[in-house]
Structures are given as C-alpha cells and as structure tokens.
C-alpha cells in the first residue's frame, strides 16, 4: 500500500530539491503533480483540493522562497499536512467508566469485523479481561468462527446457546460478562452487502440497549472511496467513534486511509495488516506520513532498535561517533546488534536514504555475509581494528588467511567500512538526526 504514491511523490520532490531557489512557477508545477498523484491514489477529490490549496498557502509564502533548502521545506509542509489529514495523533479507545465497557464493531460484509474483533481482543487482553460476543445470527458459521479465534487468545467467548435475537444476545452477554468479571466486551456484528434499513435498525437497537463506550467502524481499505462513503453513512445514522482500517497489507492505493478522517471526521485508530491474529497495529498518522513520503519509518525503527540494542553498547557507539571515530571494533559491535534485530534488509528499508546506499547493498548483508565480516574483523589485531589505515597488503593477506576468506573479501569489507564511516561522519555532523542516532547509532 502507498508504494505507488510514495514513488511518485519521491520523484516530484527530487526535482524540487535539485533547485537552488524555488519560484512560484516551480511550486505550482510540483503542486499540480502532487494533486495528480493523490487523485491517482484514490484520495477523495475534495480532500485533494483542500490539501493542495492549503499546501500552496503555506508553500508560496516568503519563508519558503527565501529558505536555503526550499525543496526540503515544501516536503516538510506536505508532510505536516499529511499528518494533519490523518488526524495528527494516535487516537486510543476510550473505555469510559462503566465496567464492563462494551465496544461495538460495525461494517459491511467481509470487511474483516470478526477477524478484527479477535485481533483487538488479543491486543486489549494484555491489559484487560476481554469477552467476545458474536451478534451475527445470520451467517451459519459466524459464531463458531469467533469462538475458534477466541480460543487462540486469552479472551472469553460468550455462548449464545439457542438465542437468535442479536439484541438479546448482546444484553445477555453483558450480564454474563459482568458476572464473570470481564472488563471489556467486544461485540462483533453481522455484515450486509450494502447499508440497508434492517441492518441500520438492528445496529441502532443494539446501541440503545448496550450503550457502547465506543462504536468502531471496520473499513476495508481495498474498497477505496466506497469505504469512506459507507463510513459517512454509518456515522450519520449510528454514530461512530473511530475507524479500524483492514487489509492495509493489500495493494489498495491508500486513498481511503488518507480521506477518511477529513470526510467522516473520525480518526483511524487501528490498522489491520494481515490475516493472522497478531496483525493489528495502532495507527500513527506521523509514521504513516513518513512512510508515504519515503522518509522511512524512523520511529518504528527506533522502537525496534531500542528494544534490542543494549544500552551500554549503544552508549559506547554514540561516544565514538561523537568523537568521529567509528573504528572497525565499533563496526563489529554494530553488526552484532543488527544480527539481534533480525532482518537487515527490513531495517535498512526503514532508514531514510539507506535503502539506496551502495555500500550496504553491495555488501548484501545476509546471515552468511555477517558471519564472514565478523570473522574478518575478529582476525585483526586490536591495533588494526582501531586504526584501519595501518592494514597494508601484508596484513590483509594474514587477515584473510586467519579468517578463512580471501584478500578480495578483506578489501571489500574495508572499502565498505570506509564508505559507511564517511557517511556516518556526515550524518553525525548534521544536527537534525542526532536524536535518531542516539537511539540507533548506525
């Protein structure tokens, strides 16, 4: 998702960034292209119109035209505007003060309500006692589907027995949940092909009886602007508190995710990114905007790095970076950390600009390569590790022999190391990425 939009925007920004000075003309050309790119990504046309006008208003101001890097400034404006468009901050579920707190999921047929109910239950079950209830009395195996999913996680599942009235099922389930000490009741409702009177009526009646703390509209990202329009209808007639956008892992163009907040006025709270039960994520507008603009998902990366890099090594690394050293010893430590973090390719993809870095690509740092690199560095003396300049031809031969590799391998490693070192110095001298480096001193 968003790949094609991201690609187009990247091209547009590249042209902008290449210019020393931005005149109104080139801003206009860029805005026209951005407009096209958004429309092609299936963003609601009215949303696009407002978006472009707003960016224009901010972009043709004196600040941008006189700025040293005007192209970057425009990227920043577009970025900020995208974040706002998606709701600025992550919106969380409000449980209210009643216990148990009923949460109701609504949406069209096949949008992913039942799957999402189980995924959400799994997330919430980390902090609360969660009870799952199926109010779908129409589809034959609907209740069984939820029960099967519920068994995979630590959530209770209400057994409706012979009850066939959705409203009564919900009311009884609430009573049962209270008796058994559950804190949250997730109500999965039946879907319809289209919004119709009986469906709305049923949902309204459930809402009246249960008085949910939140009603979440489950939207299928693959259905594009339909998902937005249906969301608006649900909001008018039932009233929704937020959206869960499913199937974000598919090849939807992303327009629905970008339009929903602006059109319906309710934030996306979670996104579904797969069929498995652990594929529900809290929605972060900022991160999504970064992803769309190809700026890399730095925050997710930092979070991941924080969880794996051990503090001490990180501090040492930061220290040597500060002193502009970054020796081969540091390089080896860095590689060890990377190994702990899992797939290097994934990580690199998340770092802005890194995906394209030749040295890293050439190195093709798969598991085997990492072992080799580590072996080569291990075969060096401490002195060599601390000052690569002394590693001459004779030493290279010795290191190759000692590590069971070839002189070419050693040469390649040193070449890549030097390139990475250069780049790190550059990054380090730029203030803006300091905070990032603190957490992930690559």
> In angstroms, rounded to a whole number, what is the distance separating the alpha carbons of residues 243 and 266?
7
Among 16, 64, 136, 380, binds ligand GTP (CB under 6 A): 136
Among 54, 249, 325, 369, binds ligand GTP (CB under 6 A): 249
Q: Least distance in Å: CB of 382 to ligand GTP?
A: 51
- Please give the full DSSP string across 5-59, using - where no structure is assigned: HHHHHHHHHHHHHT-SS--HHHHHHHHHHHHHHHHHTT--HHHHHHHHHHHHHHH
Q: Which residue's CB is nearer to ligand GTP, number 115 or number 259?
A: 115
Q: Which residue's CB is nearer to Mg ion, number 113 or number 372?
A: 113
> HEC states along 64-129?
HHHCCCHHHHHHHHHHHHHHHHCCCCCCCCCCCCCCCEEEEEECCCCCCHHHHHHHHHHHHCCCCC
Q: Which residue's CB is nearer to Mg ion, number 113 or number 421?
A: 113
Among 274, 352, 355, 402, binds ligand GTP (CB under 6 A): 274
Q: Least distance in Å: CB of 141 to ligand GTP?
A: 10
| Element spanning 281, H or E | strand 280-282
111 binds ligand GTP (CB under 6 A): yes
How long, in residues, is the chain? 442
> In angstroms, rounded to a whole number, what is the distance separating the alpha carbons of residues 25 and 2?
28
> In angstroms, rounded to a whole number, what is the distance separating the alpha carbons of residues 185 and 279?
20
Tokens of 121: 């239950």
Among 52, 59, 82, 114, binds ligand GTP (CB under 6 A): 114
246 binds ligand GTP (CB under 6 A): yes
Q: Say if CB 220 and CB 232 are below 8 A apart.
A: no
Among 44, 73, 114, 416, binds Mg ion (CB under 5 A): 114
Q: Which residue's CB is nearer to ligand GTP, number 137 or number 163?
A: 137
> In angstroms, rounded to a whole number, what is the distance separating the alpha carbons of residues 330 and 332?
5
166 binds ligand GTP (CB under 6 A): no
- For ligand GTP, the nearest residue by Cβ is 191
137 binds ligand GTP (CB under 6 A): no
333 binds ligand GTP (CB under 6 A): no
Q: Least distance in Å: CB of 145 to ligand GTP?
A: 6
Number of C-beta neighbours around residue 27 at 10 A? 20
Binding range to Mg ion, per CB under 5 A, among 46-54, 105-113, 151-159, 387-395: 105-113
> In angstroms, rounded to a whole number, what is the distance separating the alpha carbons of residues 434 and 426?
11
Q: Say if CB 84 and CB 262 are below 8 A apart.
A: no
Q: Least distance in Å: CB of 218 to ligand GTP?
A: 6
150 binds ligand GTP (CB under 6 A): no
112 binds, among ligand GTP, Mg ion, none (CB under 5 to 8 A by kind): ligand GTP
Binding site for ligand GTP (CB under 6 A): 107, 109-115, 136, 139, 142, 191, 246-247, 249-250, 272-275, 279
């Amino acid at each position: 998702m968003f790949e094609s939009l991201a690609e187009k925007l990247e091209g547009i920004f590249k042209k902008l960034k290449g210019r020393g000075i931005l005149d109104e003309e080139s801003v206009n050309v860029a805005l026209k292209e951005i407009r096209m790119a958004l429309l092609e990504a299936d963003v609601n046309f009215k949303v696009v119109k407002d978006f472009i006008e707003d960016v224009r208003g901010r972009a043709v101001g004196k600040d941008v035209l006189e700025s040293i890097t005007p192209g970057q400034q425009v990227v920043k404006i577009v970025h900020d505007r995208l974040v706002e468009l998606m709701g600025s901050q992550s919106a969380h579920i409000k449980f209210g003060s009643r216990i148990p707190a009923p949460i109701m999921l609504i949406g069209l047929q096949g949008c992913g309500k039942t799957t999402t109910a189980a995924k959400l239950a799994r997330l919430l079950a980390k902090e609360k006692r969660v009870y799952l209830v199926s109010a779908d009395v129409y589809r034959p195996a609907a209740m069984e589907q939820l029960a099967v999913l519920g068994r995979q996680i630590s959530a209770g599942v209400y057994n409706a027995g012979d009850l066939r009235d959705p409203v009564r099922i919900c009311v009884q389930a609430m009573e049962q949940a209270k008796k058994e000490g559950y804190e949250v009741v997730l109500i999965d409702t039946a879907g319809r092909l289209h919004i119709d009177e009986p469906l709305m009526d049923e949902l309204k009646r459930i809402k009246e009886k249960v008085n949910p703390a939140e009603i979440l509209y489950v939207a299928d990202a693959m259905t594009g602007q339909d998902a937005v329009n249906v969301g608006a209808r649900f909001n008018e007639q039932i009233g929704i508190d937020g959206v869960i956008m499913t199937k974000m892992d598919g090849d939807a163009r992303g327009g629905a995710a970008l339009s929903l907040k602006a059109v319906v006025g309710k934030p996306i709270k979670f996104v579904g990114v797969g069929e498995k039960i652990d594929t529900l994520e809290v929605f972060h507008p900022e991160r999504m905007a970064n992803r769309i603009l190809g700026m890399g998902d730095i925050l997710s990366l930092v979070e991941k790095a924080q969880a794996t890099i051990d503090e001490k090594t990180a501090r040492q690394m930061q220290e040597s970076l500060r002193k502009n050293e970054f020796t081969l010893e540091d390089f080896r430590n860095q590689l060890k950390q990377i190994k702990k973090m899992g797939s290097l390719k994934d990580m690199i993809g998340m770092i802005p600009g890194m995906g394209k870095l030749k040295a890293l690509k050439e190195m093709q740092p798969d598991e085997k390569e990492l072992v080799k690199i580590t072996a080569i560095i291990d075969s060096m003396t401490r002195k060599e590790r601390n000052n690569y300049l002394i590693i001459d031809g004779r030493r290279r031969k010795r290191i190759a022999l000692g590590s069971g590799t070839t002189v070419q391998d050693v040469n390649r490693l040193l070449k890549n190391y030097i390139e990475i070192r250069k780049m790190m110095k550059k990054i380090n001298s730029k203030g803006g990425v300091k905070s990032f480096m603190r957490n992930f001193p690559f």
